Each structure stands twice: as structure tokens, then as C-alpha cells.
Amino acid sequence: MAPPGAAAWRSLARSLSGSLVLPSDRGYATARELFDPRFDVARPAAIAYCASPVDVQRTVDFARVHGIRPIPRCGGHSYGGYSTGSGLVIDVTRMSTVKVTPAQKGSPATANVGAGTRLVDLYGALSRAGVLVPGGSCPTVGISGLALGGGIGVLARKYGLTCDATRAVKIVTADGRLLTCDGAAEPNLYWASRGGGGGNFGVVTSFTFAAHPVPELTLFTVDWPWAAARDVLGGWIQWQREAPDELWSNCQLLSAGSSGLLVRSSGVLVGSTGTLSSLVSRLVSTVGSPPSSKFVGGPDPYLDVMLVEAGCESKSVAECHLPSQNPAGVLQRSAYAATSAYVSKPLPSAGLAAAAGAVEELHAEQPGLGGGLAFDAYGGVINRVPAEATAFVHRDTICAIQATLTWGSVPSGSAFVAGRGWLSTTAKALAPYTNGGAYQNYIDPELVDWQRAYYGSNLKRLSSVKRAYDPDNVFHFPQSIPLHA
Ligand SMILES: Cc1cc2nc3c(=O)[nH]c(=O)nc-3n(C[C@H](O)[C@H](O)[C@H](O)COP(=O)(O)OP(=O)(O)OC[C@H]3O[C@@H](n4cnc5c(N)ncnc54)[C@H](O)[C@@H]3O)c2cc1C
């Protein structure tokens, strides 16, 4: 197949209501950026900013006809850099409208969300309408990557994962068709679009989510001296398993550069400060060590809670962006790496020691680097969805573990190797206490048995959906759903 010449690119550009950025264009350097500057080395053939489903259809057709790999991109947070490459990037961020349909007799409220909406913009729009959709924390993460791969956040134990709230998706498949998948229509593609992961079956142009009235929301944070780290983690696991669905929390063991080692639990309650205070007191007594600080606050408006969780406390929605996304944006891109695992049984004391020991080792050996372990609560309604009901298989877990490292700017080769070394040593040290699964949205290019880890018993059905909707494997990347499993 001949690569497209200048005339073909011009004709594609003219056919779009959005815009096309080619390597020769002034905006190319910014247009090709993902969130992690490590991936700035990628040089896409072009970036198509699609402003409508028709734009997406035309771009997918163009890529297919010219034998160029179409690469869907939304928030650009793929840990593996899988939303860039040498192909044709199909950027959906110009499709970012949010339309809420209020509850009517017999039918709950829904939110129709453009596939390019970033989380902070979603929360801003939903809060104006007085409803919520369960999402994630990072404000610039895109709804597409989040919802297609799962979506865990501070409201998940009460309202489920983002993919559990998905009622319909519109998706352009490899043959250029625009399909609506809602269970009645295209049930298998609808199933796969709830946890099967982004970039596998086509380009989603919009989602419809179930939306809930905003309830009373309260927040807590408790810190302990590092010496209590093992007790805190063990106590937190026990406490959060017994907690009501209304409570979501995490436990973080962090090496925080010059701030030293930090052990913290924080979270959000759908409920009053009185209820939260007694739950937090129970956490402190379960841990059995006095905290160094304790905060219980609220009730706070939904948007404020989501901004706090996004690390954007006291910033506006506009400020809570990268400058390339919003002129008022004050956030910075950052280089990072991570790996994940799931825990289905409480950690024995050797597991608690392995977790704390890994973070101590990080602090001793790479003291300038921010990183550590975050244990994020699962359970609640997440675990009441059968594993085969959606493509998201991880339904029997107490919590996820995410081991993360943040460099900020692009690390040197040796610093990156040392950091990855810590991630893999830590994964091995914790393996005896985890269930073999990993979160597909924390996609890890170095995970060996990734097909089983991300998809478990749902892998075979995902492959059959792949064969049905993308038999030529047009949408592919190193960890895409295989045609045969
Ligand atoms: C700082 C940070 C915080 C995070 N916090 C959370 C969290 O709280 N909860 C959580 O669950 N996850 C979290 N994540 C993980 C996040 O959910 C995934 O990285 C997700 O894939 C990012 O989606 P994106 O649209 O931003 O990324 P992208 O890189 O744009 O896309 C991710 C994948 O989806 C594909 N894709 C993008 N758009 C589309 C589309 N329209 N149609 C089909 N495929 C598409 C891409 O090709 C790529 O393979 C976090 C990640 C980071 C970096």
C-alpha cells in the first residue's frame, strides 16, 4: 500500500470539521505530546483532531486505505505510551460535551459524555447539573481510557467502577461503521467496552453513563509515624474490609524525597462527618498506634471533593489542566512508571513487612525519587458484579496495589533502569501475597503474563469480540487484545 502523499493528506484535512496536524506544521511538537514526556520520542505520521463521529470515520477509513495504524488518543495517560506511535493519532479531545438528562419517572438520570472529555471537565459539568458519575482521580485523564479499562475512584465502593456506570457507547470500528452498543444492540462489543481496555476495538466517540444525585460527601486523612507502617497497612486492610460501601479509602506507603517516609490513609465517605469521625476512630484503634495527624472534614461540594482528590485543592477547573489544554492551566506533565497487582486475602505479617521493606529500600537507594505503594480499596458494589458480566474481571479483590515512581522530567537511562528495577523487585517481593491479576488501566509494558493478569477468564471472549469487529487487527499495540487466546 502506497503511503499517502501530500495531496492525500490535504484531502483528509479538508474533509474534517476538526483539524489535521502534520510533522511539517508548527503545532506538531505540542500536538504529539502525551502526559509523560518520555514518549516525546514518538513521531506520529499525523494527529487528526476529530470534532465529530464523522471525522473519526473519515480518519479511520483513511488510515485503513493507506495502511497506516490508527491510534486512538484521549487524555494521553497510557502508562505504556500506547496512544502514540508512528501511525495516525486519532485525537478525540474536541468531542468533550457533557449533557445530563435528569431522572424521569422510572428512568434514572444519565450523562451523555463526549469521548474526549477530561475528568476535571466531566466533574465540573456534572456538578453544575447536581449529579455524579463514578470516575478516577487524575484531572487530566481522559474518560475514554478510564471507562474502557475500568475506572476506580473515591466513589467506587458505593456506585461501582466507571465501566459499571456505562449504559451505551458509540464506537467507530475498523471498517468505518459508527455503532451504538448498549446491550440490546451489539451486546458483545458493549460487554467488551466495559473493562476490555482502550485502543482494542475501534474509536469511541461518546459514552452514556448512569448518573446519581450528589449526596453528602466528607473527607479524611490520617498520617502515622513511619515506624507504624506495618501496623497501619494491616489495620487498614482489616478496617476497610468491614467498612460500609459508602466509604472508599486507600493506604499509601510513600518515599517522598526530602520529606522522608510517609504512611497515610485517606478517603471519602458518602455520609456525614459524624459517621466518618466514628469510622476513622475505629481505623485508629484497629491500627493500634497513635497517628501523627488526623483530619476529618466536610461536607464538601462534589466538585471540591473531586478537585481535592485530583491534587487541585484551591484551583479552578480551568487551572486544573496542562497549559496546552487550557490557557489557564497550571499543571505540569510528568514522567512516571508503575506496575500493579491485586490482593484477595489479608496480608500476613510477612506480606506487610515486604510492602514496608520495599518502600524503605526505595528511600535508601533512590532517595531523591518520589514513589511507593498505594493500596486502593475495592469491595463494596464493585465486587457484587459477577466477573463475567462485564469485561472487567477483577471482582474478588480486597484492594489493588499500585507501585509508582515519578521522575518529573525525563529520567536518564540509568535512572530509568534503576527505577524499573525497583518496580520489578517489589512486584516479586509482593507476588506471594497477590492473586496474579493486574489492572489493565495501569498498563505495564514490562508485565510478562499480561493477558491473563489483565483479563483472566474473560480473555477468550474478548478475543472472540476482537475477531468479530477487527478481524484484520487494524487496532493493535504491544498489549492489545489478541485475535486468538
Ligand atoms: C496520574 C495518573 C492518575 C491516574 N488515576 C487513575 C484513577 O484514579 N483511577 C483509574 O482507574 N485510573 C487512573 N489512571 C490510569 C488511567 O485510567 C489510564 O492511564 C487510562 O488509560 C488513561 O486514559 P487516557 O484517555 O487519559 O489515556 P490515553 O493514553 O489517551 O488512552 C489510553 C488507551 O486508550 C485508548 N483510547 C484513548 N481514547 C480512545 C477512544 N476514544 N476509543 C478507544 N480507545 C481509546 C488509547 O489508544 C490507549 O490505548 C491514572 C493515570 C495517571 C497517569
Whether residues 203 and 167 share a domain: the answer is: yes
Among all chains, which residue has been given the C-alpha cell 466514628?
A: 278
- CB of 433 closer than 8 Å to CB of 347: yes
Give residue 83 CA to ligand 1 midpoint distance, Å: 9
Whether residues 446 and 464 share a domain: the answer is: no
Q: Please work out whether the CB of residue 142 comes within 6 Å of at least one atom of ligand 1.
A: yes
Q: What residues have CB less than 8 Å from 59, skipping those under 6 apart?
A: 12, 16, 48, 50, 70, 88, 90
Which of 71, 117, 138 is the pocket-test mutation for ligand 1 (most atoms within 8 Å of CB)?
138
Q: What is the pLDDT of residue 259?
A: 87
Give residue 42 CA to ligand 1 midpoint distance, Å: 18
Whether residues 364 and 243 share a domain: the answer is: yes
Whether residues 232 and 344 share a domain: the answer is: yes
Q: What residues have CB less than 8 Å from 428, skipping those under 6 apart?
A: none
Q: Please work out whether the CB of residue 141 comes within 6 Å of at least one atom of ligand 1.
A: yes
Q: What residues have CB less than 8 Å from 237, skipping those under 6 apart?
A: 251, 343, 346, 347, 375, 398, 399
Name the pTM for this structure. Answer: 0.98
CA dist 223 and 209 (Å) reads: 35
CATH number at residue 464: 3.30.465.10
Q: What is the pLDDT of residue 141?
A: 98
Whether residues 187 and 251 share a domain: the answer is: no
CA dist 248 and 187 (Å) reads: 31
Q: Please work out whether the CB of residue 153 comes within 6 Å of at least one atom of ligand 1.
A: yes
Q: What is the pLDDT of residue 105?
A: 87
Domain interval for residue 83: 15-91
Give residue 279 CA to ligand 1 midpoint distance, Å: 32
Whether residues 356 and 403 share a domain: the answer is: yes
Q: What is the pLDDT of residue 258?
A: 83
Cβ atoms < 10 Å from Cβ of 41: 10
Give residue 77 CA to ligand 1 midpoint distance, Å: 5
Decide if 169 is inside a domain. Answer: yes
426 φ/ψ angles, rounded to the nearest 5 degrees? -65, -45
Decide if 327 is inside a domain. Answer: no
Decide if 173 is inside a domain. Answer: yes
Decide if 238 is inside a domain. Answer: yes
Angle between helices 229-242 and 273-287 (to 10 degrees): 130
Decide if 178 is inside a domain. Answer: yes
47, 67, 91 — which closes off a domain?
91
Pairing state between β 46-49 and 88-91? parallel
- Cell readout for 194 is 466495559
Whether residues 234 and 171 share a domain: the answer is: no
Best CA proximity match to 218, nearest among 263, 266, 252, 253? 266
Decide if 157 is inside a domain. Answer: yes
Q: Please work out whether the CB of residue 447 comes within 6 Å of at least one atom of ligand 1.
A: no
Residue 481's SS3 state is coil
Decide if 118 is inside a domain. Answer: yes
Whether residues 398 and 251 share a domain: the answer is: yes
Per-residue pLDDT of the chain (485 residues; tens, 9 = 90+): 778 999 999 999 999 999 999 999 999 999 999 999 999 999 999 999 999 999 999 999 999 999 999 999 999 999 999 999 999 999 999 999 999 999 998 889 999 999 999 999 999 999 999 999 999 999 999 999 999 999 999 999 999 999 999 999 999 999 999 999 999 999 999 999 999 999 999 999 999 999 999 999 999 999 999 999 999 999 999 999 999 999 999 999 999 988 899 999 999 999 999 999 999 999 999 999 999 999 999 999 999 999 999 999 999 999 999 999 999 999 999 999 999 999 999 999 999 999 999 999 999 999 889 999 999 999 999 999 999 999 999 999 999 999 999 998 999 999 999 999 999 999 999 999 999 999 999 999 999 999 999 999 999 999 999 999 999 999 999 999 999 99
- Single-letter code of the amino acid located at 197: G
Q: Please work out whether the CB of residue 270 comes within 6 Å of at least one atom of ligand 1.
A: no
Domain count, the chain: 3
Give residue 39 CA to ligand 1 midpoint distance, Å: 15
Whether residues 259 and 206 share a domain: the answer is: no
Q: What is the pLDDT of residue 357?
A: 98
Whether residues 386 and 285 share a domain: the answer is: yes
Give, using CA atoms, the residue closest to atom 37 of ligand 1. Answer: 73
Q: Please work out whether the CB of residue 83 comes within 6 Å of at least one atom of ligand 1.
A: yes
473: left (phi over 0), alpha (psi -120 to 50) or beta: left
Whether residues 421 and 280 share a domain: the answer is: yes
Whether residues 377 and 417 share a domain: the answer is: yes
CATH number at residue 265: 3.40.462.20
CATH number at residue 44: 3.30.43.10
